[in-house]
Structure 1
Amino acid sequence: MPLLIIIPGLILGFVTVTALINMTAMARRQGREKAMRVHLGNELSRLSKEKQTLDRTVAAVERNINILSSQEEKLLISLGKLEAEIETRRQDKIAEMDKLVGAQKEAALNDLAAWAEEEKRRLGEKFNTEFKQETQALRDELRTAINGEFDQIREFFLQFARQEKILAEKDIQDFLEKKRLTVISDLN
C-alpha cells in the first residue's frame, strides 16, 4: 500500500511541481510581460514626448519658414525699391553727365570760336600790314617809275624847247611837277 499512496503522492507531487513550474514560468512570463509592458509604456511615453518635441520643433520650423518667407518678400520688395532707386540715380547721373559734357562741348566750341576769331583778327592784321607794306613798296616803285618817266618827259620837252625855243624851261618844269603831284595824289 504504501506504493499506492506513494504513486498518487508522487503524481500529485509531480503535478504540483509541474504546476509550480508552470506557475513560476507563467509568473516569470507575466513578470516579463509586465516588465515589457512597463518598458513599452516607458518607451511609448518617451516616444510620445519625443513626438511632442518633434511636433513643437516642426511647428517652430514652420513658423520660422513663414517668418523667413515674409522677410524674403519684404527683402524682395526692398530690393525692387533699391533697384528702382539705383535706376533713377543712374538716369540722373547720366543726365548730369550729359549736361556736363554739353557744357564742356559748349565751352570748347566757345574757346574754338574765340581762338578762330583771334586768329582771323591776327591774320587780318598781318595781311593788312603786309598788304600796306607791299602797297607802299609798289607805290614807292611807281613814284620812282613816274618820276623817272616825268624826268624823261621833262628832258624831252627841254630838248624840244631848246630846239624850238618856244617854251621856257621853268614853265615846263612847273607843268610837269603839277602833273606828277596829281598822278601821285591819285595813287594815295
Structure 2
Amino acid sequence: MLIILDRDGVINEYDGSYICSVDEWHPIPGSIEAVARLYKAGHRLAIATNQSGVARGFYGTDVLDGMHEKMSRLLEAQGGRIDFIAYCPHHPDEHCGCRKPLTGLLDQIRDHFHLDTLKGAIMVGDSRKDLEAGFAENCQTALVRTGNGEDTELDLQTCPIPGAKVVVYDTFSAFADAVLLAEGLEKSE
C-alpha cells in the first residue's frame, strides 16, 4: 500500500513556526520508528509537504535538502526509508498547482510510482489542507493529533470535508500500529 505523509507535524515536531535549519528539525518521538516499521512491512512511503519558507527566503533548498538527508539517515538507522519526497517551495500568493490543498504534489507522487490513480493510498496529515488534497485524489484520509492536528480535529467537527471519512489517531506511530494490526488480522483469516 502507498502511504503519503505530510512532513511537519506528522514526522517532525511542528508548532506553527517555520523550521529554518537542519538543527531545528526534530522527529516526533516514535515517528521515525513508525515509518521504518511500515517500510519493513512492504509499504511504499512518500511525503507531500508545503515548504513556502523557501519562497519567503527563510531557508534555501539546500537547507531543505539537509533536513531530508537528516531524516533519511535516521530512517536508515532503523531500517526504513521514504521512497519519494514531493515539496512545494512556492509562496501561497503564487497560486501554483502544487500547494496543498491542490493536488500537484500528489500528482507527482502518482507519476513517480507509475500509478493511474491514488485510490487505495492513504494520506496522513495534521491539517485540513493535507486531508482535502488526499480526498481530492481518492485517497483514504487519516488525521494525526500532533502538530496542528488537534486544531484540525476541532475544525472538522464543526466544518467536515463533504464526503470524506477521516480517521483520527493520536500520533503517526498509533496510525502505523493500526495499519500493521489490521494487516496481521487480514493475513490470519
Q: Which range, TM-score by smaller chain?
A: under 0.3
- Give the TM-score, by structure 2 length: 0.14
Higher helix content, 1 or 2: 1
- Give the TM-score, by structure 1 length: 0.14
Q: Which has the larger radius of gyration?
A: 1
Higher strand content, 1 or 2: 2
